[in-house]
């Protein structure tokens, strides 16, 4: 069993698998699962971790934690895709963070052994997967929130910009 | 600027700060923010990352990603706190995961420079903080979910077990 360790202020993790998707161009990858409906993909978990997937198929949605393996160098202030204004990187989901960790909520279509078939995949192909957690409504669905600069972006604009030009022909929700 | 790197399959991160809380006993730490209302705490971000916090104060809730620095050795099958049955570790939020990464949704009470004052803190004191993301309703609030084994745990039981015996005198929601 490979384990993470903390040494001299560094934290080391080892991928538990890889995410496969149709997204090979960072510029055309939707920014969130909610804007990636119809983008199918899968998580291929390494054989030694398959036992840890038991009962995961009971959950409709998963939180994937992964390494932004193609992230640019760190920028503490960024202009996010959804708005033409600068924000602190921790106020955004941009990849250019001090620790380039990505988080996506995706739909689990089905589990086939150690392969998780997913919908709403907003993740680049071959991204190293670090952790999987179940999305649990009673923990993760916060009913009333104040959403900072995101409130200044109207929903049609968010949907249009959030999709970032991925091919809508695979998208059952797209207009004909 | 300290950067994360991938080398020979290992991913290395460096803490961006530390989480301070009243929880010093893992056995008495609530298991999720939703069961930790009234548990105040703070995130102390290192000076070199303060610029990245700009505009974070506009958000009512944050997703904290941190290192379970006191996690036990890895177990792929675990019996979670909320239910007396074994599940794969990826179907739970238990700390004994292959990569011991924790995720909590907490309430941001206020930001004071590089100190984030928090409510709903279910995290052990002195936990290394790896990343901060804003909780965004349009991304993270999934209205309809199927919650696997969590559906078998009724809400009063979840609330009682989820609090795990932390001192209720600080809890405005606790019965008198």
The domain limits of chain A are 12-137+147-163
Q: Is the dihedral of CA A49, A54, A57, A63 positive or negative?
A: negative
For residue B96, the model assigns a pLDDT of 95
Which chain A residues are closer than 8 Å to B79 by Cβ? Answer: none
Task: Give the pLDDT band (50/70/90) at residue B14.
Answer: very high
CATH 2.40.30.70 fits B14-136+148-161, yes or no: yes
Length of chain B: 176
List, in order, residues 6 or more apart from A160 with CB less than 8 Å away: none
In this prediction the ipTM stands at 0.88
Q: Which residue of B has its CA nearest to A75?
A: B52
Residue B127 three-state SS: strand
pTM (two decimals): 0.88
Residue B169 three-state SS: helix
Task: Give the pLDDT band (50/70/90) at residue B74.
Answer: very high
Comparing B85 with A53, the larger pLDDT belongs to A53
Q: Is the pLDDT of residue A11 over 90?
A: yes
CB contact under 8 A, A33 and B139: yes
Percent of chain A with pLDDT over 70: 89
Task: Give the pLDDT band (50/70/90) at residue A172.
Answer: very low
The DSSP line for A76-140 is SEE--TT-SS-EEGGGS--S-SSS-EEEEEEEEEEEETTEEEEES--S-TTEEEEEEEE--HHHH
Architecture, CATH, for domain A12-137+147-163: Beta Barrel (2.40)
List, in order, residues 6 or more apart from A23 with CB less than 8 Å away: A29, A30, A39, A41, A121, A122, A123, A124, A125, A166
Q: Is the pLDDT of residue A88 over 90?
A: yes
For residue B176, the model assigns a pLDDT of 38
Residue B137 three-state SS: helix
Query: In B8-42, which positions are buried (b, 16+ CB within 10 angstroms) versus exposed (e)?
Result: eeebbbbbbbbbbbebeeeeebbbbbbbbbbbbbb
CB contact under 8 A, B88 and A54: yes
HSE (side-chain half, CA atoms, 13 Å) at B30: 28
- A positions 88-147 inside 8 Å of B (CB): 88-93, 97-101, 103, 105, 128, 130-147
Q: For residue B160, what is the enclosing H or E element?
A: helix B155-163
List, in order, residues 6 or more apart from B168 with CB less than 8 Å away: B38, B174, B175
Distance CA A145, CA B144 (A): 18
Which chain A residues are closer than 8 Å to B136 by Cβ? Answer: 93, 145, 147, 150
Distance CA A135, CA A149 (A): 25
pLDDT in tens, A110-164: 999 999 999 999 999 999 999 999 999 988 999 999 999 988 888 888 888 887 7
Count how many pairs of residues, chain A against chain B, have C-beta atoms within 8 Å.
262
- A124/chain B closest Cα distance in angstroms: 16
Nearest CB partner across the interface for B69, out of A6, A131, A140: A6
- B positions 37-96 inside 8 Å of A (CB): 49, 51-61, 63, 65, 67, 69, 73-74, 76-77, 86-93
List, in order, residues 6 or more apart from A74 with CB less than 8 Å away: A89, A96, A97, A98, B1, B3
Cα B166 vs. chain centroid, distance in angstroms?
16
List, in order, residues 6 or more apart from B97 with CB less than 8 Å away: A52, A131, B68, B71, B74, B89, B90
CB contact under 8 A, A16 and B147: no
């Amino acid at each position: 069993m490979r384990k993470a360790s903390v040494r001299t202020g560094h934290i080391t993790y080892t991928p538990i698998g890889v995410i496969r998707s149709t997204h090979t161009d960072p510029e055309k990858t939707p920014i969130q699962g909610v804007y990636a409906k119809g983008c199918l993909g899968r998580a291929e978990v390494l054989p030694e971790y398959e036992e840890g997937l038991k009962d995961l198929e009971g959950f409709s949605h998963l939180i994937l934690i992964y390494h932004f393996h193609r992230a640019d160098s760190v920028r503490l202030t960024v202009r996010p895709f959804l708005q033409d204004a600068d924000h602190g990187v921790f106020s955004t989901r941009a990849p250019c963070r001090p620790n380039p960790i990505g988080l996506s909520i995706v739909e689990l279509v089905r589990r086939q052994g150690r392969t998780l078939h997913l919908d709403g995949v907003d993740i680049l192909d071959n991204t190293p997967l670090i952790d999987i957690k179940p999305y649990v409504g009673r923990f993760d669905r916060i009913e009333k929130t104040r959403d900072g600069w995101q409130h200044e972006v109207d929903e049609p604009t968010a949907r249009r910009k959030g999709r970032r030009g991925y091919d809508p022909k695979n998208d059952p929700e797209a207009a004909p």
